Amino acid sequence: MAIKGVGIDIVSLSRFEKVLMKHGEKLLSKYFAEEEKRMSTSSLAARFAAKEAVKKALDTPSIPFRNIVISSPARQAKIVGYEVQGRVWVSISHEKDNAVAIAVWEVV
């Protein structure tokens, strides 16, 4: 197995909450799968960081955010509607006002 890509991202929880309050359902529909929309604000922010990390690891900015689904508990990313070789591993952490995520794309 080989590491093909790594991505990392950090999100301010307070900033994410302000954006969510302003854009509501429009933001949820653009960035999150149906099963993710019911999560808490901090979990959504963490999932957003994870999706950014996945896009960076795969080096494919064309994949829509809502097509990247982070499993719960967050360990892998599922890319809906796109064929990705190997697995994308994800780790998420929260601390005070920040959520951080790293994604590692592993190919056999």
- Given a cut of 70, whether residue 90 has pLDDT beyond it is yes
Whole-angstrom CA distances from 20 to 13, 39, 42, 58, 73 are 10, 13, 11, 26, 23
- Given a cut of 80, whether residue 73 has pLDDT beyond it is no
Which pTM does this prediction carry?
0.92
- Given a cut of 90, whether residue 102 has pLDDT beyond it is yes
Span of 18-22, 80-84, 87-91 with lowest mean pLDDT:
80-84
CATH code of the domain containing 14: 3.90.470.20
Question: Mean pLDDT across the chain, nearest whole number?
Answer: 93
Task: Give the pLDDT confidence of 7-55 residue by residue, as tens digits.
Answer: 999 999 999 999 999 999 999 999 999 989 999 999 999 999 999 999 9
- Given a cut of 70, whether residue 80 has pLDDT beyond it is yes
* Residue 76 DSSP code: B
**pLDDT at residue 61, rounded to an integer:** 82
Total count of domains within the chain:
1
Give the angle subtended at the CA of 56 by the CAs of 78 and 108, to the nearest 5°.
Answer: 55
Whole-angstrom CA distances from 32 to 27, 67, 85, 92 are 8, 8, 22, 16
Write out the residue range of the structural domain in which residue 86 sits.
2-107
